[in-house]
């Protein structure tokens, strides 16, 4: 897949944008001092007349440049139609002996892939015969554009009537370096003209244009009008804006920059760059031996494979955070490397696709991990649901009090399974025992200790009728087996015939009792003993309590009193007392429902952070 995308350049439009980005990040380059641009700007046309200018002006320009020692003069616009003053222009061209003239070929879209091998195609704009024979050199100035309309490369040669026609700037460069453009060898990614000159080309045998900088910050430029005016002023001994001696030994490109002449277009650096600058950039690149080398499909494919493998290794061999930071580091490192190679070595490698591979690898691996975690979570939730079902089986399925007691109980785990526990046992015909406990911690470990505690309690509650002794047996059994955990517990035994109750606490409390006679809720003072499972030598104590018909006792875990709302406020003991008092005339079931509603309204959308257990006992005799 990577080879297909790289080989068929499926992301070429994005790679071109990345190519342009590197041009923008590239510092301006020095230009050859030999090159100057003489532009026919708006002021020139306003003064000398509209385009096309009479060719006797061009003759005058040649004469001036020749007189002041210009090395070469290259015209970047065509002279396909004869004009009245051609004889003057031709004579100046011949006398100068250093004039280069352009022509333009018509290229069909189907022919562009092997541009330098085109044969017998049509000339779109030829050179007038009277001028062609006088020129020192001739070359084409075709500037094909990429799919986005930008000029990034130029064809070095085209074949016409079995003869190779060089690109105009290449022809000038060959003459400047003493190389014959006709003796050329096409060899893979190079066009070899001599041992002095080998040009790197892309797959279509085109040279990447190495623009030295933006139009207004690169080549030395003079106005066409400035030069003619300066020459006139020098003859009349008037001051001039430029010193024409600066043109000595210069290679002068003459081109159009006036508005409306349409001799401009977008390039990587800017959206309006004049064609004369394109050809000057080609010559500058050749003279200074500063080229942009397209590494080609094979190298890019290898690079993309290496980046993809590296990204996958990073993403699958670290935590999600390390995978993110590693992918970010890989992408940033590759980006910096590609910019460095482009700026310092003129090497163009793919940028968009490798970075896309890093992103795809990270997103893909993250999605894969996410799906794995979802699957694990689903399995865990199923296991927890089973654990919840098993845990619920340890709790009394249906609490039935004797004639003298009515009981209602409720437990809401903070997670799937709870660490809270409660149980109700019948001691005798007139006695019932109530246990409420809270295992330190939450979740599965706490639920396992909870199940063990209830199982042991049911055994000891039938062996002993003394609350403190039951807690003592539980404590000894749990010590050393709770893996550093402990259990707070409160065991209450109620005798509704004698209207007596006895209770013992192992760090669990408080206990509230609603007194019907006094119509108020009172606290029961408890002994602050050590929780179960911490110290085997602890002796627990009993607390005795008188009860009467109509009284109510509430046992609850700290999950009720410490239930928090979104502001961090706790439900609190006062709220519990008030709710118990408000429901004094209601059944234990309605009272329990009232507690559920009060807690729900209080916490609103806040997350439950602890298990909640409530046990309400009503004395009916």
Answer yes or no: is pLDDT of 140 > 70.
yes
Contact 247, 231 (CB under 8 A): no
Shared-domain flag, residues 149 and 79:
yes
Peptide bond into 548 cis (omega under 30): no
Which residues, in sequence order, are bridge partners of residue 505?
Answer: 490
Q: Which residue has the tokens 């003759």?
A: 59
CA distance 619 to 263: 104
The reply to whether 357 and 431 lie within a common domain is no
Q: What is the band of 119 on the pLDDT scale with cuts at 50, 70, 90?
A: low
Helix (H) or strand (E) holding 488: strand 487-495
What is the phi/psi pair of residue 207, to 5°? -90, 130
Residues 3 and 45 in one domain: no
Closest by alpha carbon to 467, among 494, 502, 500, 496?
502
At residue 187, the pLDDT reads 86
Predicted confidence (pLDDT) per residue in 558-568, tens digit: 999 999 999 99
pLDDT at 481: 75
The answer to whether residue 348 scores a pLDDT higher than 80 is: yes
- Rounded average pLDDT over 105-127: 67
Give residue 443's pLDDT: 72
Contact (Cβ atoms closer than 8 angstroms) between residue 397 and residue 599: no
CB atoms within 10 A of CB 320: 14
Omega into 101 within 30° of 0, i.e. cis?
Answer: no
- Farthest CA pair distance, the chain: 140
Q: Are 360 and 420 in the same domain?
A: no
Using the predicted structure, report yes or no on whether residue 341 has a pLDDT greater than 60: yes
Query: For residues 379 and 580, which has the higher predicted lDDT (pLDDT)?
Result: 580
Per-residue pLDDT at 438 exceeds 70: yes
> How high is the mean pLDDT of the chain?
90
Whole-number pLDDT of residue 415 = 79
**Is the pLDDT assigned to residue 112 strictly greater than 60?**
no
Name the residue among 594, 557, 520 with its Cα closest to residue 420.
557
pLDDT band at 388 (very low <50, low <70, confident <90, very high): low
The per-residue pLDDT for range 243-292, each reduced to its tens digit, is 999 999 999 999 999 988 878 999 999 999 999 999 999 999 999 999 99
Res 131: pLDDT: 95
Show which of 289, 323, 338 is a domain's final residue. Answer: 289
CA–CA separation, 576 vs 512, rounded Å? 9
Q: Is the pLDDT of residue 378 over 60?
A: yes
Residues 317, 298: Cα–Cα separation, whole Å: 29
Same domain, 411 and 302: no
Exposed (0-12), middle (13-18) or buried (19+): which is 154, by Cβ within 10 Å? buried
Q: Is the CB of residue 524 less than 8 Å from the CB of residue 545? A: yes
Is the four-CA dihedral 599, 600, 603, 606 of positive or negative sign? Answer: positive
Q: How many domains does the chain have?
A: 3
| CATH number of the domain residue 451 falls in | 3.60.40.10
Q: Using pLDDT thresholds of 50, 70 and 90, give the confidence band for residue 407.
A: very high
Coil, strand or helix at 604: coil
According to the model, what pLDDT value does residue 337 have?
Answer: 97
Same domain, 152 and 195: yes
User: Do 506 and 579 lie in a common domain?
Assistant: yes
- 15-72 pLDDT, tens digit per residue, is 999 999 999 999 989 999 999 999 999 999 999 998 999 999 999 999 999 999 999 9
Q: Is the dihedral of CA 365, 366, 370, 373 positive or negative?
A: positive
Are 125 and 225 part of one and the same domain?
Answer: yes
- Whether residues 477 and 339 share a domain: the answer is no
> Residue 186 — pLDDT band, cuts 50, 70, 90?
confident
> In terms of domains, do 333 and 268 share one?
no
Whether pLDDT at 402 is above 70: no
Predicted confidence at residue 450, as pLDDT, reads 86
Q: With H, G, I as helix, E, B as strand and everything else as coil, classify residue 16.
A: helix
Domain residues for the domain of 553 are: 398-619
Q: State yes or no: pLDDT of 389 exceeds 80.
A: no
pLDDT classification of 536: cutoffs 50, 70, 90: confident
pLDDT at residue 149 above 70?
yes
Task: Tell whether the model's pLDDT for residue 117 goes beyond 80.
Answer: no
Instruction: Give pLDDT, residue 233.
Output: 94
Query: 46 CB contacts (<8 Å, ≥6 apart)?
Result: none
User: In sequence order, which residues have a C-beta less than 8 Å from that of residue 427 and are 6 or more positions away?
Assistant: 433, 461, 465, 493
How far is 603 from 584, CA to CA, in rounded Å? Answer: 24
| C-beta of residue 393 within 8 angstroms of C-beta of residue 584 | no
Query: Are the beta carbons of 384 and 444 closer than 8 angstroms?
Result: yes
Q: Do 464 and 568 belong to one domain?
A: yes
Of 360, 394, 428, which marks where a domain is finished? 394
Give the integer Cα–Cα distance in Å for 516 and 564.
Answer: 30
Q: Are residues 130 and 56 in the same domain?
A: yes
Domain end position, chosen among 239, 270, 289: 289
Residue 451 confidence class, pLDDT cut points 50, 70, 90: confident
Contact 97, 63 (CB under 8 A): no
Residue 339 has pLDDT above 90, yes or no: yes
pLDDT at 31: 95
């Amino acid at each position: 897949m990577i080879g297909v995308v790289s080989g068929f350049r499926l992301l070429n439009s994005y790679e071109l944008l990345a190519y342009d980005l590197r041009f923008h990040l590239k510092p301006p380059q020095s230009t050859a001092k030999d090159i100057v641009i003489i532009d026919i700007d708006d002021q020139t046309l306003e003064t000398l007349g509209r385009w096309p200018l009479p060719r006797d002006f061009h003759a005058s320009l040649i004469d001036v440049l020749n007189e002041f020692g210009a090395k070469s003069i290259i015209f970047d616009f065509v002279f396909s139609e004869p004009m009245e003053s051609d004889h003057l222009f031709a004579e100046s061209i011949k006398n100068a002996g250093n004039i280069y003239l352009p022509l333009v070929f018509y290229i069909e879209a189907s022919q562009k892939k092997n541009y330098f091998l085109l044969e017998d195609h049509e000339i779109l704009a030829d050179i007038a015969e009277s001028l062609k024979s006088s020129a020192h050199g001739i070359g084409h100035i075709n500037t094909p554009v990429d799919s986005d309309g930008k000029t990034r490369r130029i064809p070095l040669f085209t074949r016409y009537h079995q003869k190779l026609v060089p690109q105009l700037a290449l022809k000038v460069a060959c003459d400047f370096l003493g190389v014959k453009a006709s003796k050329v060898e096409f060899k893979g990614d190079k066009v070899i003209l001599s041992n002095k000159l080998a040009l790197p080309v892309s797959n279509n045998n085109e040279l990447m244009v190495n623009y030295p900088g933006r139009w207004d910050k690169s080549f030395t430029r003079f106005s066409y009008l400035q030069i003619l005016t300066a020459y006139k002023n020098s003859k009349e001994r008037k001051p001039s804006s430029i010193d024409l001696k600066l043109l000595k030994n210069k290679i002068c490109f003459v081109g159009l920059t006036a508005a409306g002449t349409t001799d401009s277009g977008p390039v990587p650096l800017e959206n309006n760059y004049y064609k004369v600058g394109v050809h000057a950039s080609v010559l500058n690149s050749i003279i200074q031996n500063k080229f942009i080398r397209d590494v080609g499909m094979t190298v890019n494919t290898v690079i993309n494979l290496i980046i993809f493998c590296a990204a996958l290794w990073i993403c699958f061999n670290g935590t999600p955070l390390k995978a993110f930071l590693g992918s970010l580091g890989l992408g940033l490192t590759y980006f910096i490397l590609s910019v460095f190679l482009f700026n310092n070595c003129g090497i163009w490698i793919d940028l968009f696709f490798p970075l896309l591979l890093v992103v795809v690898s990270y997103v893909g691996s993250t999605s894969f991990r996410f799906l794995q975690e979802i699957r694990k979570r689903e399995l865990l939730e199923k296991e927890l649901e089973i654990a919840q079902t098993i845990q619920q089986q340890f709790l009394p399925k249906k609490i039935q009090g004797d004639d003298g007691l009515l009981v209602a109980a409720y437990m809401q785990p903070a997670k799937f399974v709870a660490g809270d526990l409660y149980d109700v046992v019948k001691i005798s015909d007139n006695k019932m025992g109530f246990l409420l406990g809270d295992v330190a911690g939450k979740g599965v470990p706490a639920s396992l200790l909870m199940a063990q505690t209830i199982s042991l309690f049911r055994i000891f509650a039938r062996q002993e009728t003394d609350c403190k002794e039951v807690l003592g047996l539980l404590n000894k059994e749990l010590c050393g087996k709770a893996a550093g955990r402990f259990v707070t517990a409160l065991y209450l035994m109620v005798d509704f015939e004698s209207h007596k109750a006895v209770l013992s606490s192992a760090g669990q409390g408080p206990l509230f009792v609603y007194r019907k006679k006094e119509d108020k809720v009172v606290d029961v003072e408890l002994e602050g003993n050590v929780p179960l499972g911490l110290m085997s030598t602890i002796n627990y104590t009993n607390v005795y309590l008188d009860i009467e018909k109509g009284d109510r006792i509430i046992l609850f875990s700290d999950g009720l009193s410490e239930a928090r709302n979104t502001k961090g406020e706790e439900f609190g003991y006062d709220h519990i007392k008030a709710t118990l008092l408000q429901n004094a005339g209601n059944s234990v079931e309605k009272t329990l429902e009232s507690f559920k509603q009060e807690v729900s309204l209080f916490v609103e959308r806040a997350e439950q952070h602890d298990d909640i257990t409530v046990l309400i006992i009503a004395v009916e005799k």
